[in-house]
């Protein structure tokens, strides 16, 4: 089975929902004929360094402002990032998965980083959901949640085919490669390549570009195959939309080291007091 996937590496206008929704619709129109899933970065509708704007631009899951995106999902599955006003009154850094003119799944960010004061505004999500699509199971992880190995464990166990990582990766640190790429990006790529390679799924890494108050987002969104190969990538620094086809038949069986029942038992039985 083949899956056509599009990656929209955009430069959102900070706190300008209307403008960002228009941009999303433009891109949807552009790719809907040639692709089955279109993925945007974390907080794609809002931008990242929102401060008090977080409160101002939050949307409930049934917000009428999001209707054009919902309706466009008649043609193509769409994954967006936004500030969600939850039914509990809390704000979440969320990813919405739209398909067949409905909101099929919401994944909220699970672990909040202290970076640029976000915890003050956001509450943390408390569940991990799979998306059962016509192409098999998909998973969504937001930002630095990917750094917690236990977060991807349920995805590995259930044999997902594609892991979508929606990020706002800030360019930080000097890598020793001397190739002009930020250390934060180089380190993350090593991790994602290892995940894809050893746990046998595609990783769709979706980052954004641009500056917000001096903070740079690097871009470099890409698709990594289950053999650990980067199949296609967006450029660094520049807005870009790429489309490619994933061959979902190319999966290897899980290895013996993924014997979870044994691993759970060992983790449970270990003594943490030294």
Give residues in contact with another protein (CB under 8 A).
13-16, 49-53, 117, 171, 173-182, 210-214, 216, 236-237
CB of 183 to another protein, least distance (A): 8
Shortest distance (Å) from residue 251 CB to another protein: 36
In whole angstroms, how far apart are CA 187 and each of 103, 183, 193, 222?
A: 33, 6, 10, 15
CB of 28 to another protein, least distance (A): 23
Of the two residues 11 and 97, which places its CB atom closer to another protein in the complex?
11
Output the smallest distance, CB 219 to another protein, in A: 11
d(CA 144, CA 141): 8
Smallest separation, CB 180 to another protein (Å): 4
- Residue 211 or 260: the one with the smaller Cβ distance to another protein is 211
How far apart CA 218 and CA 80 sit, in angstroms, is 19
Q: How far is CA 162 from the centre of its chain?
A: 11
Q: Which residues of 146-164 are buried (b: 16+ CB within 10 A; e: fewer)?
A: beeeebbbebbeeebbbbb
Question: What distance in Å separates the CA atoms of residue 166 and residue 189, rounded to the nearest whole number?
Answer: 13
- Angle (CA) 142-242-182 rounded to 5° is 55
Q: How far is the CB of 67 from another protein (least distance, A)?
A: 23
Name which of 118 and 161 has its Cβ closer to another protein: 118
- Closer to another protein at the Cβ: 12 or 139? 12
Question: Which one, 68 or 173, has the nearer CB to another protein?
Answer: 173
Q: Which is nearer to another protein, 89 or 214 (CB)?
A: 214
Contacts of 45 (CB under 8 A, 6+ apart): 12, 17, 20, 21, 24, 59, 80, 81, 82, 83
């Amino acid at each position: 089975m083949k899956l056509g996937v599009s990656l929209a590496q955009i430069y959102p206008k900070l706190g300008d929902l209307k403008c960002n929704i228009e941009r999303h619709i433009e891109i949807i129109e552009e790719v809907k004929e040639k692709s089955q899933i279109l993925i945007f970065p974390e907080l794609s509708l809002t931008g990242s360094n929102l401060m008090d704007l977080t409160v101002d631009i939050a949307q409930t899951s049934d917000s009428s402002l999001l209707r054009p995106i919902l309706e466009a999902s008649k043609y193509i599955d769409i994954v967006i990032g936004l500030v969600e006003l939850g039914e509990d009154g809390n704000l979440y850094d969320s990813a919405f998965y739209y398909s067949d003119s409905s909101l099929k799944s919401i994944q909220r960010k699970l672990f909040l980083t202290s970076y640029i004061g976000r915890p003050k505004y956001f509450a943390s999500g408390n569940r991990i959901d799979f998306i059962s699509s016509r192409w098999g199971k998909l998973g969504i992880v937001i930002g630095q949640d990917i750094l917690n190995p236990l977060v991807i464990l349920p995805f590995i166990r259930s044999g997902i085919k594609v892991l979508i990582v929606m990020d706002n990766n800030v360019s930080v640190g000097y890598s020793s490669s001397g190739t002009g790429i930020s250390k934060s990006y180089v380190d993350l790529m090593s991790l994602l390549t290892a995940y894809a390679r050893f746990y046998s799924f595609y990783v769709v890494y979706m980052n954004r570009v641009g500056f917000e108050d001096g903070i740079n987002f690097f871009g470099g969104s890409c698709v990594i195959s289950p053999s650990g190969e980067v199949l296609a990538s967006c450029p660094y620094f520049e807005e870009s939309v790429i489309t490619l086809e994933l061959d979902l038949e190319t999966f290897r069986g899980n290895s013996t080291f993924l014997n979870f029942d044994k691993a759970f038992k060992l983790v449970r039985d270990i003594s943490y007091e030294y």
